[in-house]
């Protein structure tokens, strides 16, 4: 007989049927004649309710059963009189598969802090919270592929090791096989990368965009969904050194089509979560309510998790230019009352997440898409506007998160692109292949990057990006 998964088991009304259930003990409670075990196998949030009559099951076996112990239960499915579940399993045999000594097993049936669970990331999957987060994460990954597949996009694997710096920010991890204790040098004393594995300087990619563009200029509609790496030493709750990014790239598409795509995709993903992760979302919503209670009144969110998700679904995203946003921010009560940590000084400043959140949460009370940023604060490949000062960039701003998507129409004009590359002192030589697409059959095209973990923060209502990826990589932290 095969094991039945708990997600299936808890819905079954085949009372009287013999079943085999396996999983990890969440709680065990023993009274005089009977023992109750809540067993979880991760297939869903809920536990199977196991009832063991101590005249049927040898009582000494319970000396070995604690939270975290893995068990195989053979038993009979019985209708439950409890309100919590429709059935329970009356055990006829209990096999202890693996013990978990309660003196050493760190995950106990009580509230653990998120910090503690991060230090025990190898076992935090076994909590209700991390089970829920990781199931939602899976559904979101699947939904992203489904969204694009249903709309005729092709998934492209772009390289993880590259020789170019797409964002020009220089926050990259080197990839090398050089002996770090004896680095070969050129005559001028610089590192001699020609002796390295690839015969040149290479790094982990910060974005798959440049290569995705090459594919889009042939397959029309493509997307990447891969790991990206940024060695930015920013210890914030929104930045990881290793994160996953979704990057669609579309030929014959301008910045307006690009905004439509971003808004449609985000709404689709939020709706998908509500439709396919109802139980876990409800659990996460309750967690958020409890957490809000511990905050001072004036810092509490007025929306529940599902209200926040609906906030995205029910509103048309507000679209305005960066310049308009700067005016709003400059004249805002928050600016005048000195509430911003970084007050807005003048046109040209990069926006901080406090400004982005102000626009979304206080001013417009809906998600916002800002366009036409100053070219100085954006990457070289963005389409230059006729004003000579701005580029056709678009950032999508969300409540709680700030920037969730960054994108743009791309500069398709060879001369203008080359001029910008030169202005920025970038190497034309390493980008020859990128420039070639503007020499041969160039077309208007656009794309964007959605940080997958930023999306996960929003969908789960978690506050720290370290908790929505199974194994976070951040400065000074790469355990597990």
Binding segment (CB under 6 A) for ligand ATP, from list 35-43, 256-264, 331-339, 449-457: 449-457
Residue 73 interacts with ligand ATP (CB under 6 A): yes or no: no
Residue 453 interacts with ligand ATP (CB under 6 A): yes or no: yes
Residue 456 interacts with ligand ATP (CB under 6 A): yes or no: no
Task: Please give the Cα distance from 124 to 105 (Å, whole number).
Answer: 12
Residue 249 interacts with ligand ATP (CB under 6 A): yes or no: no
Q: Residue-wise over 16-34: b if at least 16 C-beta within 10 A, else e?
A: eeebbbbbbbbebeeeeee
**Which residue from 267, 283, 255, 288 is spatially nearest to 411, judged by alpha carbons?**
255
Residue 311 interacts with ligand ATP (CB under 6 A): yes or no: no
Residue 245 interacts with ligand ATP (CB under 6 A): yes or no: yes
CB of 450 to ligand ATP, least distance (A): 6
Residue 406 interacts with ligand ATP (CB under 6 A): yes or no: yes
Task: Please give the Cα distance from 200 to 188 (Å, whole number).
Answer: 17
Residue 454 interacts with ligand ATP (CB under 6 A): yes or no: yes
CB-based contact 394:259 (threshold 8 Å): yes
CB of 425 to ligand ATP, least distance (A): 20
Q: Which of residues 166-205 bind ligand ATP (CB under 6 A)?
A: 167
End-to-end Cα distance, the chain? 36
CB of 332 to ligand ATP, least distance (A): 20
CB of 186 to ligand ATP, least distance (A): 32
CB-based contact 222:233 (threshold 8 Å): no
CB-based contact 23:70 (threshold 8 Å): yes
| Burial bucket for residue 136 (CB in 10 Å: 0-12, 13-18, 19+) | buried
Residue 240 interacts with ligand ATP (CB under 6 A): yes or no: yes
Among 239, 357, 438, 466, binds ligand ATP (CB under 6 A): 239
Residue 405 interacts with ligand ATP (CB under 6 A): yes or no: yes
Q: Which is nearer to ligand ATP, 97 or 377 (CB)?
A: 377
Q: Which of residues 114-173 bind ligand ATP (CB under 6 A)?
A: 167
**Which residue from 446, 441, 440 is spatially nearest to 410, judged by alpha carbons?**
446
CB of 369 to ligand ATP, least distance (A): 12
Among 41, 165, 249, 403, binds ligand ATP (CB under 6 A): 403
Q: Which is nearer to ligand ATP, 44 or 405 (CB)?
A: 405
Q: Which is nearer to ligand ATP, 26 or 355 (CB)?
A: 355
Task: Please give the Cα distance from 87 to 74 (Å, whole number).
Answer: 15
CB of 246 to ligand ATP, least distance (A): 9
Q: Which is nearer to ligand ATP, 221 or 230 (CB)?
A: 230
Binding segment (CB under 6 A) for ligand ATP, from list 70-78, 90-98, 303-311, 398-406: 398-406
CB of 340 to ligand ATP, least distance (A): 16
CB of 453 to ligand ATP, least distance (A): 5
> What are the phi and psi torsion angles at 28 (to 5°)?
-135, 135
Residue 449 interacts with ligand ATP (CB under 6 A): yes or no: yes
CB of 112 to ligand ATP, least distance (A): 25
CB of 260 to ligand ATP, least distance (A): 18
Residue 255 interacts with ligand ATP (CB under 6 A): yes or no: no
**Which residue from 480, 479, 471 is spatially nearest to 242, judged by alpha carbons?**
471
Sheet holding 318-321, edge to edge: 154-155, 221-229, 242-251, 445-451, 402-409, 390-398, 368-374, 318-321
Residue 230 interacts with ligand ATP (CB under 6 A): yes or no: yes
Task: Please give the Cα distance from 94 to 35 (Å, whole number).
Answer: 12
CB count within 10 Å of CB 423 equals 10
CB-based contact 136:280 (threshold 8 Å): yes
Cα 463 to the chain's mean position, in Å? 12
Binding segment (CB under 6 A) for ligand ATP, from list 13-21, 77-85, 139-147, 401-409: 401-409
DSSP symbols for 256-324: HHHHHHHHHHHHHHHHHHHHH-HHHHHHHHHHHHHHHHTS-GGGS-SS-HHHHHHHHHHSPPEEEEHHH
Task: Please give the Cα distance from 41 to 103 (Å, whole number).
Answer: 23
Q: Which of residues 284-303 bind ligand ATP (CB under 6 A)?
A: none
Binders of ligand ATP: how many residues, by CB under 6 A?
Answer: 16
Residue 357 interacts with ligand ATP (CB under 6 A): yes or no: no
CB of 212 to ligand ATP, least distance (A): 13
CB of 466 to ligand ATP, least distance (A): 10
Residue 259 interacts with ligand ATP (CB under 6 A): yes or no: no
CB-based contact 382:416 (threshold 8 Å): no
Tokens 């810092």 — which residue?
299
Residues making contact with ligand ATP (CB under 6 A):
167, 230, 232, 239-240, 243, 245, 403-406, 449-451, 453-454
């Amino acid at each position: 007989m095969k094991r039945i998964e708990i997600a299936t088991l808890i819905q079954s009304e085949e009372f009287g049927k013999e079943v085999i259930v396996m999983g990890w003990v969440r709680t065990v409670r023993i009274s005089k004649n009977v023992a109750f075990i809540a067993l979880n196998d991760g297939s869903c949030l809920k536990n199977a309710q196991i009832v063991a009559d101590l005249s049927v099951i040898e009582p000494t076996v319970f000396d070995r059963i604690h939270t975290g112990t893995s068990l195989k239960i053979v038993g009979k499915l019985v209708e439950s009189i409890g309100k919590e579940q429709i059935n329970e399993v009356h055990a006829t045999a209990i096999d202890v598969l693996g013990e978990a000594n309660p003196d050493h097993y760190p995950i106990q049936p009580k509230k653990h802090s998120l910090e503690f669970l991060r230090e025990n990331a190898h076992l935090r999957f076994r909590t209700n919270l991390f089970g829920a987060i990781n199931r939602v994460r899976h559904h979101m990954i699947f939904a992203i592929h489904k969204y694009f597949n249903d709309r005729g996009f092709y998934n492209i694997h772009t390289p993880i090791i590259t020789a170019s710096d797409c964002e020009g920010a220089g926050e990259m991890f080197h990839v090398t096989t050089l002996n770090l204790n004896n680095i070969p040098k050129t005559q001028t004393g610089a590192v001699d990368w020609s002796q390295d594995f690839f015969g040149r300087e290479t790094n982990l990619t910060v974005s798959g965009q440049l290569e995705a563009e090459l594919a889009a200029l042939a397959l029309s509609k493509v997307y990447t969904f891969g790991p990206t790496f940024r060695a930015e030493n920013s210890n914030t709750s929104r930045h990881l050194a290793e994160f996953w990014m979704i990057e669609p790239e579309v030929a014959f598409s301008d910045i307006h089509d690009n905004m439509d795509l971003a808004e449609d995709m985000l709404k689709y993903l939020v709706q998908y979560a509500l439709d396919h992760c109802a139980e876990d979302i409800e659990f996460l919503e309750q967690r958020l309510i409890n957490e809000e209670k511990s905050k001072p009144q004036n810092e509490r969110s007025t929306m529940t998790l599902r209200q926040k998700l609906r906030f995205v679904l029910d509103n048309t995203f507000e679209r305005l230019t960066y310049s308009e946003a700067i005016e709003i921010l400059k004249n805002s009560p928050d600016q005048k009352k000195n509430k911003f940590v970084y007050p807005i000084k003048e046109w040209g400043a990069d926006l901080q997440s406090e400004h982005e959140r102000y626009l979304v949460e206080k001013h417009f009370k809906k998600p916002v898409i800002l366009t036409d940023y100053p070219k100085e604060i954006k990457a070289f490949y963005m389409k230059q506007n006729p004003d000579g000062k701005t580029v056709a960039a678009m950032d999508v701003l969300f409540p709680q998160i700030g920037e969730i998507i960054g994108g743009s129409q791309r500069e398709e004009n060879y001369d203008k692109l080359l001029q910008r590359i030169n202005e920025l002192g970038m190497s034309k030589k390493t980008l020859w292949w990128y420039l070639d697409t503007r020499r041969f059959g160039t077309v208007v095209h656009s794309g964007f990057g959605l940080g997958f973990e930023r999306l996960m923060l929003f969908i789960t209502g978690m506050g720290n990006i370290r908790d929505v990826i199974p194994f976070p990589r951040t400065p000074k932290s790469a355990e597990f």
